[in-house]
């Protein structure tokens, strides 16, 4: 359908998992994709896969916790492709596991700086560029843990709750300037964030938390992100969409 033909899109955390799936789907739909990650080999591989399928992609290494990196990422998109229309602010980490009363301060600071401040920094520079390009869409990566809690991850839960609020505030501010801003809340998804840190028994137990009886896939989340990034969701802004196999319906 080429729903994004000629649009310029940034994907942070695009070196693997959901970020890579979204970058590939954006390109399949005609977007010019700027893939970003701190994982340079992973990000380069995502861009290579896009080009191997006939798409157009550029990799830019960026640490979203650093404002200058976010500015440089946007400037690279504008310089290389002439503008910016779409941003998927996806980069994030899980952080340490510990009760709140014992949580490491440096762990808190790192999770908040990447997961929450990183999205603010991204929008801080993306929004002016999108306005200059005539408008577009921003999708921010939250989580089911943006509306419910879980033990031993206070920084992650707080950061994801914050993303939903930040998204709503920005959406209201820019609704009259042809920018739509939404967030998504995946359940537990089979990505390296899980598979590299959890054993098979733990993954199986997580599957059981979802009424559908399984974990989600990156490709399923990418379809939702594509819809929110495309003209098909033209009356949607300031919203938070779960994609969680029924997790939060319980």
Burial class of 9 by CB neighbour count within 10 A (0 to 12, 13 to 18, 19+): buried
How many C-alpha atoms does 19 have within 13 Å on its Cβ side?
31
Instruction: Reply yes or no on whether 26 is catalytic.
Output: no
CA separation for the pair 166, 22 (Å, rounded): 22
Which of 73, 76, 207, 85 minimizes the C-alpha distance to 134?
A: 85
Please give the helix or strand (H or E) that residue 53 lies within, else none: none
CA separation for the pair 18, 218 (Å, rounded): 5
Contact status, residue 75 vs residue 68, Cβ threshold 8 Å: no
- Give SS3 for 106: helix
Q: How far is CA 151 from CA 3, 95, 209, in A?
A: 41, 13, 14
Which of 153, 187, 182, 157 minimizes the C-alpha distance to 168?
A: 182
Contact status, residue 57 vs residue 46, Cβ threshold 8 Å: yes
The one catalytic residue in 156, 174, 188, 241 is: 156
CA separation for the pair 122, 66 (Å, rounded): 10
- Give SS3 for 239: coil
Residues catalogued as catalytic: 156
């Amino acid at each position: 359908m080429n729903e994004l033909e000629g649009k310029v899109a940034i994907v942070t955390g695009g070196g693997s998992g959901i970020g890579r799936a979204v970058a590939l789907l954006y390109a399949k739909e005609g977007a010019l994709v700027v893939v970003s990650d701190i994982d340079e080999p992973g990000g380069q591989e995502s861009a290579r896969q896009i080009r191997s399928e006939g798409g157009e992609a550029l990799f830019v290494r960026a640490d979203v916790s650093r404002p200058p990196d976010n500015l440089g990422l946007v400037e690279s998109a504008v310089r290389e492709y002439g503008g910016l229309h779409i941003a998927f602010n996806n980069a994030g980490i899980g952080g340490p596991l510990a009760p709140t009363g014992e949580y490491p301060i440096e762990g808190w600071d790192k999770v908040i700086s990447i997961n929450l401040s990183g999205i603010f920094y991204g929008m801080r520079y993306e929004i002016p560029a999108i306005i200059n390009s005539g408008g577009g869409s921003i999708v921010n990566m939250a989580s089911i843990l943006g509306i419910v809690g879980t033990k031993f991850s206070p920084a992650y839960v707080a950061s994801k709750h914050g993303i939903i609020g930040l998204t709503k505030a920005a959406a209201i501010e820019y609704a009259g300037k042809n920018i739509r801003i939404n967030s998504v809340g995946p359940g537990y998804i089979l990505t390296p964030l899980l598979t590299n840190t959890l054993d098979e028994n733990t993954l199986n137990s997580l599957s059981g938390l979802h009424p559908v009886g399984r974990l989600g896939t990156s490709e399923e989340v990418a379809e939702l992100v594509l819809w929110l990034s495309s003209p098909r969701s033209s009356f949607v802004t300031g919203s938070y969409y779960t994609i969680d196999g029924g997790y939060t319906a319980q």
